[in-house]
Every structure is written in C-alpha cells, then in structure tokens.
Amino acid sequence: MRSRRKMLAAAALGLGGAAQAQSADSWSPKKQSAGGPMRSGHLLFLGGIGGWYPERRPKPGDVKEQTADALTIMKASLEKAGSSMDNVLKVQVALVDPENNWEPMDQAYNTFFPKNRPVRSYFGATGFRRRGQLLQIDCIAYVD
C-alpha cells in the first residue's frame, strides 16, 4: 500500500500535469458518485458532513459528541466507497467558536486518527443552517 504522502504528491503532480497536457475542451474529471463521496480517479471527495442531525439524535450535544458523530458518518461513507480512514489525505473542519471548541473537537478527532494523521485545516464559522450544529467536516481520501 502506498503512503499517503506519496499518494498526495502523485495526485498533485498528476493533476498539474493533466491540466497542462489537455485543452479546456477535452478535459473531463470522470466523476463517479460512490453513494456519498464524489470519486474522480483514485480520489474521493466528501463534504458537508454535519456534526448533528436531528433525525439521528434529538438534542445537538457538545462539540466532542458532534465530532465523533461526523467522523463516524465519514468513516461509513468512505468504507461504502471502498476506502477507509487510513486512506484519508486531508480533512477540513469548519468550527463554531474555535476558542472554546478546539480542544474537545481535537480530542474526539484524534481517536479516529490515532496514527498517520491526515493533513488538517480548520476555520471558524458563525453557525450552520441547523441551530445547535457546531461543526462541519470535509475530506479527501484515496481509493485503489
């Protein structure tokens, strides 16, 4: 199995080279839906995973609970598409009130990535369409 770093480097080089080698008229991402993630080649893109869905749990819960729920949904979606949490290259987290929510979010997050953590970025958010939702997660993973 290839390392994530090698896969990310290959993807970046491949995308850059493909953009130069093809004209705008002939380019096609060859996207395929994989029952949640969007697949393009060996990459899976999964976005907009909320930390709370009222149909799953009546009350929003705290950020630690919401992080665990969002990452559980992400894990199930990746596995359904033929990938896994071990193949995650990048995670982006939109987080309400990062000053107070960063530490508990990070604690829950680290239980899903105990080693070989993917690249992660985050930004503060003022809120989401569901009042009480504290975060939203996106990721990029690879699949063989």
Structure tokens at 86: 């071990």
pLDDT at 25 over 70: no
Structure tokens at 10: 């290959």
How crowded is residue 13: how many other Cβ atoms within 10 Å of its Cβ? 10
What mean pLDDT, rounded, does the chain reach? 84
Using DSSP's 3-state secondary structure scheme, residue 128 falls into coil
Q: Where are the domains of the chain?
A: 33-142
Of 35-49, 85-99, 126-140, the range with the lowest mean pLDDT is: 35-49
pLDDT at 69 over 60: yes
> What digits encode the pLDDT tens for the residues 111-140?
999 989 999 999 999 999 999 999 999 999
Task: Provide the CB-side half-sphere exposure for 30 (13 A, CA).
Answer: 7
Alpha-carbon torsion, ordered 17, 5, 88, 28, to 10 deg: 10
- Assign domain 33-142 one CATH number from 3.90.180.10, 3.40.50.300, 3.40.50.140, 3.30.1330.40: 3.30.1330.40
Residues 109, 132: Cα–Cα separation, whole Å: 19
Mean pLDDT confidence for 61-88:
96
pLDDT at 93 over 80: yes
